[in-house]
Amino acid sequence: MKKIKVKTPAKINLTLEVLNRRADGFHNIQSIMQAISLYDYLTFDVSSASGIDIVLNGSSPDIPYNSFNLVYKAAERFFEKAGINNVKLDIYIEKHIPVAAGLAGGSTNAAGAFFALNRLFDNVLSEREIDDLCASLGSDLNFCLNGGCCLCTSRGEVIERLPAYIQKISLIKPKKLGISAKEAYSNFAELSDKSNPDNTTKLKNLLNKGGFDKNLLYNSLENALFPKYEELRIIKSSVKNSLMSGSGSTFFVLNEKIDAPLDKTEYDIFENLTTILAGVEQV
């Protein structure tokens, strides 16, 4: 039996500018993503079996532990690509990243699965093959595999590493509100004004020079979701300098503690999470 445990970090979008809709139904984007020190922990146990047997368990009641889970799908694709048979794989997901929160919880778990399984099977697949598997399964996986700070383009799977500007963050989200990426992008497609300020390029240039400007933080999807969700509007108006991450519903502020009248609303607050330079790490 072989065993490995990995920690998979959440991400925030310092910028997210949605561009044109593609022929495959996705949107092209330009986004600067940053990994943060909020982790899920995944444990993989491999033993011999007749055929492929994948057993998924975990600590969260909010995710499926079957073939609908991205980790399960990642394991299936890895074994198929690597030509591996006669294996039983037990996976346990210790969940800390909120679900459907714009923090790439599912994507980072799946990227961690590709990373861990390749380690367990002596790097049977090349880095390029693992990157291709990530791109085949989701738009954020390639970033999650690499971590740090990256410019992400195309539908998000094309990445360019950038210098990280290390700072503190605080996260806030409605406890009972999860938003799917499909819903967010569908709402965006219905907007009459889809223009962007090209803050991604401006912030990229600053980061490459060792600088940072929080006034360049931007998310196209805020305008797409605010009309539908009062909870998001409350956070935006109550928490100064807050920005929604990804497709929501989590917001973040940089180098500030959240000081807002939150006693009448239900939110989870994560204080002072230090951004990290590394991506998926073996522990």
pLDDT digits (tens, 9 = 90+) for 124-153: 999 999 999 999 999 999 999 999 999 999
Decide if 10 contacts 108 (C-beta within 8 A). yes
Domain membership of residue 97 (yes or no) is yes
Same domain flag for 44 and 152: yes
What gap in Å lies between CA 151 and CA 143, rounded to an integer? 9
3-state SS, one letter per residue, for 180-223: CHHHHHHHHHCCCCCCCCCHHHHHHHHHHCCCCCHHHCEECHHH
The catalytic residue among 7, 40, 73, 140 is 140
Q: Tell me the mean pLDDT in the region 62-80.
A: 97
Same domain flag for 140 and 200: no
- Tally Cβ neighbours within 10 Å of residue 208: 11
Same domain flag for 29 and 118: yes
Q: Name the residue among 97, 253, 243 with its Cα closest to residue 169.
A: 253
Same domain flag for 157 and 236: no
Same domain flag for 105 and 129: yes
Whether omega before 249 lies within 30 degrees of 0, making that bond cis, reads yes
Q: Is 140 a catalytic residue?
A: yes
Name the domain boundary from 131, 162, 193.
Answer: 162
Q: Per the structure, how many domains does the chain have?
A: 2
Domain membership of residue 9 (yes or no) is yes
Domain membership of residue 114 (yes or no) is yes
pLDDT band at 267 (very low <50, low <70, confident <90, very high): low
- Average pLDDT taken over every residue of the chain: 90
pLDDT band at 212 (very low <50, low <70, confident <90, very high): very high
What does 45-66 look like in DSSP terms, one character per residue?
A: EEEE-SSEEEEEEES-TTS--S
pLDDT of residue 270: 57
Give the structural domain span for 195.
168-274
Q: Tell me the mean pLDDT in the region 245-250.
A: 94
Name the domain boundary from 162, 186, 206.
Answer: 162
Same domain flag for 173 and 236: yes
pLDDT of residue 132: 98
200-39-66 Cα angle (round to 5) = 105
Same domain flag for 9 and 128: yes
Domain membership of residue 129 (yes or no) is yes
Domain membership of residue 283 (yes or no) is no
pLDDT at position 278 over 70: no
> Residue 254, SS3?
strand
What gap in Å lies between CA 193 and CA 63, rounded to an integer? 35
pLDDT at position 280 over 70: no
- Tally Cβ neighbours within 10 Å of residue 198: 13
Sheet of strand 168-174, all strands in order from the earlier edge strand to the far edge:
243-244, 251-254, 168-174, 267-274
The catalytic residue among 11, 73, 95, 204 is 11
Same domain flag for 24 and 146: yes
Same domain flag for 17 and 41: yes
Q: Is 213 a catalytic residue?
A: no
CATH code at 77?
3.30.230.10
CATH code at 200?
3.30.70.890
